[in-house]
Each structure stands twice: as structure tokens, then as C-alpha cells.
Homo-oligomer: A and B are copies of this chain.
Amino acid sequence: MKRTSMEGAACPVARSLDVIGDWWSMLIIRDAQLGLRRFGEFQKSLGMAKNILSQRLRHLVAHGILEVQPASDGSAWQEYVLTEKGQRLFPILVALGEWGREHCFQEGEVRTELRDKAHGLPLKPLEVRAADGRLLTSQDTQVERVPPER
């Protein structure tokens, strides 16, 4: 038996989840977006087992989301930094955060929030729009099989 993989799926959502759909990857990526780079920083921030972290970091590196760099402070250790591909996950994090903030807290609970560094204000809510700018809901969309590019 094996954990079923979506590698062959034509659906991009399934492909994404195949890469970053486990319990820890998105949290690691969140921390990486916040500037964490060292193994120990991730481990302390997330409180996860070191073997699992090690596994996940390797996985993310293998998929080109993180890359290993020589330490920025001159020491001989290595650091994990987001690649371009990893940076592009930002909207997913924002979407997750927005939904979590709205639907996963009781009134009165302490929470954190992502804000605009320039003015310290909350972000504008994410919007799904058509090419011509109309706001869309899931009912306004459909899935199409598109021919391979080129």
C-alpha cells in the first residue's frame, strides 16, 4: 500500500496538494515567508519532531520550493530559503489566513493577522475576478480541459 498520489491528475489543485498538501509543509512555508531560514528556527517555531522537519525540508527542496544556501552569516551551516516558485505560494497563505481568521476563532480569542508593512493596516480581502474584472463565485465558474500548451 502507499499513500495515494495525485501525480497523474489533470487537476492543478490536486497537483498542488500532492506537493504541499501535508500537515506541515504550508506551515514551514509560512515561516519561511516570515524570514526563518535555519533548521533550528523552524523546529523551535513549529515545535515539530526534528526527523519530520528534516523529511519535509528535503521534500520541499526536491520540489524546488526551498533551496539550500550557504549560511548568510558566514558560518559553515546551511540555510533554507524560498525559491521563486516558493514565493508564489504567498496568495495561498493569504487565502488560508483570511479564511481562518473569519471562521476559526471564537470571539475574544487572541489572534495574529497579516498586515501591510507600510501602514500597518489589514490587507484588502482576496477577490476572485474574471478576465474582465467581474467578481466571481464558484457558481460562476466551470472546469475545462485545456489542450497542452505549445
Contacts and interface: CB of A to CB of B under 8 A. Distances in A.
B123 A126 contact: no
Contact of A92 (B12, B95, B121, B140): B95
Interface string A99-110: 111111101111
Total copies of this chain within the assembly: 2
B47 A128 contact: no
A136 interface: yes
Interface residues of A, number: 86
Contact of A16 (B12, B104, B133, B134): B104
B117 A142 contact: yes
Given A92-B99, A96-B16, A11 B30 contact: yes
A90 interface: yes
Interface in A1-43: 3-4, 6, 10-19, 21-23, 26-27, 30, 33-34
Contacts of A12: 96-101, 104-105, 111-113
Interface of A: 3-4, 6, 10-19, 21-23, 26-27, 30, 33-34, 47-48, 64, 85, 87-105, 107-124, 126-134, 136-150
9 contacts: A11-B97, A12-B100, A13-B97, A92-B99, A108-B149, A115-B141, A115-B142, A116-B136, A124-B133
